Structure 1
């Protein structure tokens, strides 16, 4: 742990200082989304208790999905539906997933069922989805449904060939795209390195979207890092605050 802390002080500290020096030039805004909330109550609760406007993407149909969504909402946090979508590896999607062979009617019905299961949803992002997000016809069905229900979409970009973001924008659905995955390796050094990439994006622009998961390592890192961001001129905001 201490090796990781020292690494981040050296790596992230320099970037935070650089951002602080430019804080007056343009407001730097960061969205932090915690995916995969729903099947572990203790870790979900710990993630929800992170300081600031962290956003929570809740999987439908799991043991604690509804309870954790309500808890996040009660604490003033934004809630998203983390919608399982068909992937190239044909991995199991869990409850209420959008499968590759579904008709338009089945896609819409499954979306409706999932949204009924997770309360207070402001928008959705894809859980896996490397197959479905490449399918223009399926994405048109999904985005038309979201437009009808005043929901936004965030493309998790699990595939570089995703057409989800472009389809959403073309159909008038407010949409954003993920920049950095924080923790597909759960080590201090890796998480800190990924976070430094997010800070580097803010050095070149004013907005960045980061996705993490309710892992103990991620929660510990964010509990340490989040209080440091305001001094660097970085505001953590919900996706709704970045939408065009």
Structure 2
């Protein structure tokens, strides 16, 4: 009996084992909730920091812009160049166009202040123009000129002046008329003396025409003249009219249409200090081409006003001249010392309301 093993309570042992296993598998509810809460809290904190950082950056930008504006208002004596440097340092989100507007406003305010002038060296540096900027400046200059254009100008030349009575009738109109005086000829051997004491006048030079009778006037320039003959004639004209500056052609349809002869004459006129005004007695005149070769401005007649000797016709031609002056800024009309022409000019005040009558030399100025 002593050697028999003790009986064990199998029921009690079997019941204890399942209880231990159930306790090991049971999750800790408090620990899981705490971990989830910390994770959510961390995420919310990160989002809050990002949002706060964004608004802080925006506030810094606004403060920077406000600081620049206040400093500009308080110190208006800063140079435009410094203002541009300050503005370029500010990192704004404005479009480039708005920044340029701000710059222009700043510079405009700067110009209105009592700023001391820059030294000459600085002024020269500020006015340096690059090749890229030159076309823009030309465009601006053109716009300014067109926006501030003066009243259209009208020049009226009276050709064929030979006598003192003709000159007096021109002066009696009371308007600015430029007499073009014939050199001495069979019409008057002392016509050059009419220019004595005159401030505004020019020379009416006879030149070869397609009509033979017009070529009979004394010392008419011909296309078959040599260079020496043309030069001698121009020098003689200079001696006769020492104060003259302007010459236009009498007839001359053949001469002005001859490139070689006209070029020789034009070059000689320039040498003697004369400016040539083309009467345009022929459409194929070579003067525009020659003038361009020398780099000069081409000045020519726009309208003949008295091909028909009636006041209504002359008024009609004057209206045409005024219209052309409005279109291009100036016009040149040519008439003659006829009584009808003087009468028409004296009664054309209404026609001249929209233009400024000037002498030829005022146009060149």
Give the TM-score of the pair, scaled to structure 2: 0.54
Mind listing any 5+ residue stretches in structure 1 that lack a counterpart?
1-23
**Residues 45-100 of structure 1: CA distance to partner in whole angstroms, max 9, x if unpaired?**
211333243211111014241232225x1xx3x21111100011223341221012
8 Å contact from structure 1 (residues 134, 162) kept in 2 = yes
CA distance in 2, matches of 1:174, 1:139: 16
Structure 2 equivalent of residue 80 of structure 1: 202
Secondary structure at 1:225 match in 2: coil
Task: Check if 1:69 corresponds to 2:192.
Answer: no
TM superposition score normalised by structure 1: 0.79
Check conservation: 1:81, 1:125, Cα contact below 8 A.
Answer: yes
Alignment correspondent of 2:156: 32
| Cα distance in 1, alignment partners of residues 184 and 301 from structure 2 | 24
If asked which structure has higher relative contact order (CA below 8 Å, sep 6+), I would say 1
Q: How large is the Cα RMSD of the aligned pairs?
A: 2.1
Structure 2: how far apart are the matches of 1:113 and 1:164? Answer: 22
Confirm or deny: 8 A CA contact 2:319 2:351 kept in the other structure.
no
The structure in which a higher percent of residues are helix is 2
Q: 1:167 to 1:34 in 2, by over 3 A?
A: same
**1:141 aligned partner:** 264
Equivalence for 1:89: 211
State the Cα distance separating 1:25 from its structure 2 match: 5.4
Question: Where in structure 2 are the equivalents of 1:98-117 lying within 5 Å?
Answer: 98-117=221-240
Count of residue pairs brought into register by the alignment: 214
Q: State the distance in 1 between where 2:291 and 2:179 align.
A: 21
* Structure (1 or 2) with the greater strand fraction: 1
Q: What SS class does the counterpart of residue 87 from structure 1 fall into? A: coil
Does the Cα contact within 8 Å between 1:57 and 1:80 map onto a contact in 2?
yes
Q: Which moved more, 1:121-130 or 1:49-58?
A: 49-58
2:348 is the counterpart of 1:225: yes
Following the alignment from structure 1 to structure 2, what is the Cα–Cα distance between the partners of residues 65 and 41?
A: 8
